[in-house]
Chain A
């Protein structure tokens, strides 16, 4: 006699559609993020009368969205149980590359932008190459080395000088509007949708999750682990270069020390967005909300002249909250 449970399984047809239960819809991390986001808006509105109006909310995005492009590929990297801390340096090196191409080599600005994107992608590709070629090295160490390396090269090229004098139209990236919507916001939405679809709707995204859970199984199942990692790291470099374009445009020039510690902000936003550093888990919609939470928090506290140190405390506490809350359930179990 087999057990009763087993008996009832025998010859049972398997369900192929996921039942849509309240638990699946409402008990999700993203709802908590939405609550925090609303909380941030409410708090800011109470603190400053200048906060809650469409123009200020709109224009704030121009300030905080630049680094957000890197959050998406960083989410991919973290889902694969890896990390890239060289992205801030990649922003600096690619923007310096762009400025040098324009000011020293006299290339047209369009070509200089292409140079920027190529430099960024190459930086990412190099990270990916090192990490896949030497799997025994941890990604933290490899990208720590390239973080110092890329920043160092940027300093050698510009020697702590600013380099700017870009043509006037280049300012459009950082300051332009299309039908009253900041250009950066439009690009952000486009890139967010593209990465979201890539992660959640394609075979490529599925492989990223598979690698994060178990790279051996993935390899045995015919997933090209190295190729997938190479592509993702290259995307991270490319998005760092996109950030470089918007940042240089907004500031009107670039320096070797720009985008300092961006990697930490980026990783924090991804983690707050529910991307697990243990690999295999996370949704991009969460990171989008997290970007806006951090962005408006920064902007709102800036409005009432709260020093940036206080802001660090708030963001640190938020992040701690984000990583601890999912663990509370486990704690009670044991």
Chain B
């Protein structure tokens, strides 16, 4: 057993009406990567905020190097070497990398009080090199990829001499390759003696990196295990509190006639040569690495973006959608990837969100009939088992999974044939995932044709009848359900060279 750097004993934190942490304990050792897992709302965020001095615990104590300590604000925690890196990088996109790294602790000449730019650039470069990254410290933050921005955040933590680094879902927005890079950096820090608290919904992150895992559920401490000693099944039971036997529902839908067909669709700079067909009651998985052009393709299919060449057929008729409304009226609906930014109006209640796409249906000559509107919203929300009290509950008060159900509900108010779901389970916990999978499957059973865009392989494999793989803007392969495997998808997505063949990707 290593040297203990931080220990939390019986931490309790309550907010008016809610207990966010109840008697939680936690032990962190030097040079350890400790995974913290739990469903959304389990208390992970509050836990982090207590450690980083944002919130003050109501009861219990925090020991740092064996000595009790209290933080009255985040700066005190920072001064003690605790740094947090959040899922959505919290940086200054218009400033350069060096400025971001040294924000708040700039190097200043003791005599003239001027900012020592050269020294800061050199040190930034040094830290980035030590992380094995070739990012130019003079580059503007906003021009970096999410993965690179996260590396800069880590560099920032190192520049403050952090001994405890908290990573909150760092891999959520990263591709497999980028995650691998992050793992490498995390391991490097660990070997140098930094203690890392790693929060993630992805099991592979935990297995790959962590040696210990602590599970929280409903604000309670459930347990702490060595990663090697716990099985996937037991971990899910610990997190969810029940066994999830069947994450993926049984495929029962029957596939009917062709509904939707795309021929040689092309948008210059984004994608090219996209051809596929979609049948009634079919779920077509669409996957590929982040940046392969999936979202752009979906937005084009839904009438949000324009395309340059090619044809879209709906029920055998050639269609060109003028705008999202036109696409919806003709039968194609889209669930955007970012539900908070482009899927929902968070400040509104459930009901108004659900009815926004179809206001005309609850109105006569433009006059809204609010009663008819809220009854329809109620009907659909109940069908999807949205957990709320009334249709007036604000969407911002719902959990991620329930918010996503509202997004799906919006699609169900219209008379659609084709539903395009872009990353429907992104950022939702495992219980909610299972519920959303069930909904997707039911949609197919009811005869909807579904295009399911996802980066999560098990999800694509578990739900789809066929899987289309995109790479660098092209649809490289469509795999049938009985042939599909993680390996075959990855091979297509990464562009593995076939023996004897040559892999040439034409510019789009």
A residues with a Cβ closer than 8 A to B are: 1-3, 6, 9-18, 201-204, 206-207, 210, 213-214, 216-224, 280
- Known pairs A202-B367, A218-B356, A223-B356. 11 more at Cβ < 8 A? A6-B387, A12-B389, A201-B368, A203-B359, A206-B368, A207-B359, A210-B356, A214-B345, A214-B346, A220-B324, A220-B342
Cβ of B357: which chain A residues have Cβ within 8 Å of it?
A: 221-222
Cβ of A202: which chain B residues have Cβ within 8 Å of it?
A: 363, 366-368
Q: Of residues 178 to 221 in B, which have CB atoms within 8 Å of A's CB atoms?
A: 218
Cβ of B392: which chain A residues have Cβ within 8 Å of it?
A: 15, 18
Contact B378 A217 (CB under 8 A): no
Q: How far is the CB of A108 from chain B (nearest CB, A)?
A: 34
Measured in the bound complex, the distance between the Cα atoms of B323 and A177 in whole Å is 50
Contact A14 B324 (CB under 8 A): no
Cβ of A15: which chain B residues have Cβ within 8 Å of it?
A: 378, 389-392
Contact A206 B359 (CB under 8 A): yes
Contact B356 A9 (CB under 8 A): no
Measured in the bound complex, the distance between the Cα atoms of B341 and A11 in whole Å is 29
Cβ of A206: which chain B residues have Cβ within 8 Å of it?
A: 352, 356, 359, 368
Q: How far is the CB of B207 from chain A (nearest CB, A)?
A: 26
Contact B218 A3 (CB under 8 A): yes
Q: Of residues 146 to 191 in B, which have CB atoms within 8 Å of A's CB atoms?
A: none
Measured in the bound complex, the distance between the Cα atoms of B343 and A119 in whole Å is 39
Contact B388 A14 (CB under 8 A): yes
Q: How far is the CB of B337 from chain A (nearest CB, A)?
A: 11
In the complex, B129 has a CB within 8 A of chain A: no
In the complex, B325 has a CB within 8 A of chain A: yes
Could you list some 20 contacts between A and B, CB below 8 A? A2-B431, A3-B218, A9-B389, A10-B387, A14-B350, A14-B391, A15-B378, A16-B391, A17-B374, A202-B367, A203-B368, A206-B356, A210-B345, A210-B356, A213-B346, A214-B341, A216-B341, A218-B356, A221-B324, A223-B356
Measured in the bound complex, the distance between the Cα atoms of B19 and A3 in whole Å is 12
Q: How far is the CB of A12 from chain B (nearest CB, A)?
A: 8
Q: How far is the CB of B44 from chain A (nearest CB, A)?
A: 15
In the complex, B360 has a CB within 8 A of chain A: yes
Contact A224 B341 (CB under 8 A): no
Cβ of A210: which chain B residues have Cβ within 8 Å of it?
A: 345, 348, 356
In the complex, B486 has a CB within 8 A of chain A: no
Contact A14 B345 (CB under 8 A): no
In the complex, B375 has a CB within 8 A of chain A: yes
B304 is contacted by which of A14, A201, A219 (Cβ under 8 Å)? A219
B382 is contacted by which of A6, A13, A207, A218 (Cβ under 8 Å)? A13
Cβ of B328: which chain A residues have Cβ within 8 Å of it?
A: 222
In the complex, B9 has a CB within 8 A of chain A: no
Measured in the bound complex, the distance between the Cα atoms of B352 and A15 in whole Å is 14
In the complex, B427 has a CB within 8 A of chain A: no
Given the known A-B contacts A14-B382, A221-B324, are A201 and B367 also in contact in the complex, defined by CB atoms under 8 Å?
Answer: yes
Cβ of A219: which chain B residues have Cβ within 8 Å of it?
A: 304, 324
Measured in the bound complex, the distance between the Cα atoms of B241 and A218 in whole Å is 38
Q: How far is the CB of B483 from chain A (nearest CB, A)?
A: 34
Cβ of B378: which chain A residues have Cβ within 8 Å of it?
A: 13-16
Cβ of B431: which chain A residues have Cβ within 8 Å of it?
A: 2
In the complex, B344 has a CB within 8 A of chain A: yes
Contact A203 B363 (CB under 8 A): yes
Measured in the bound complex, the distance between the Cα atoms of B341 and A214 in whole Å is 8
Q: How far is the CB of A20 from chain B (nearest CB, A)?
A: 12
In the complex, B136 has a CB within 8 A of chain A: no
B345 is contacted by which of A3, A17, A203, A213 (Cβ under 8 Å)? A213
Contact B387 A222 (CB under 8 A): no
Cβ of B347: which chain A residues have Cβ within 8 Å of it?
A: 213, 280
Q: Of residues 383 to 403 in B, which have CB atoms within 8 Å of A's CB atoms?
A: 385-392
Cβ of B381: which chain A residues have Cβ within 8 Å of it?
A: 14
Cβ of A12: which chain B residues have Cβ within 8 Å of it?
A: 389
Cβ of A11: which chain B residues have Cβ within 8 Å of it?
A: 385
Given the known A-B contacts A3-B218, A16-B390, A210-B356, are A220 and B336 also in contact in the complex, defined by CB atoms under 8 Å?
Answer: yes
Contact A16 B377 (CB under 8 A): yes
Q: How far is the CB of B297 from chain A (nearest CB, A)?
A: 16
Cβ of B359: which chain A residues have Cβ within 8 Å of it?
A: 203, 206-207
Contact B241 A217 (CB under 8 A): no
A203 is contacted by which of B218, B343, B360 (Cβ under 8 Å)? B360
Given the known A-B contacts A14-B386, A224-B323, are A204 and B366 also in contact in the complex, defined by CB atoms under 8 Å?
Answer: yes
Given the known A-B contacts A9-B387, A206-B359, are A1 and B368 also in contact in the complex, defined by CB atoms under 8 Å?
Answer: no
Measured in the bound complex, the distance between the Cα atoms of B336 and A16 in whole Å is 27
Measured in the bound complex, the distance between the Cα atoms of B381 and A213 in whole Å is 22
In the complex, B260 has a CB within 8 A of chain A: no
Q: How far is the CB of B353 from chain A (nearest CB, A)?
A: 8
In the complex, B334 has a CB within 8 A of chain A: yes
User: In this complex, what residue of B is CB-closest to A226?
Assistant: B323
Measured in the bound complex, the distance between the Cα atoms of B356 and A329 in whole Å is 30
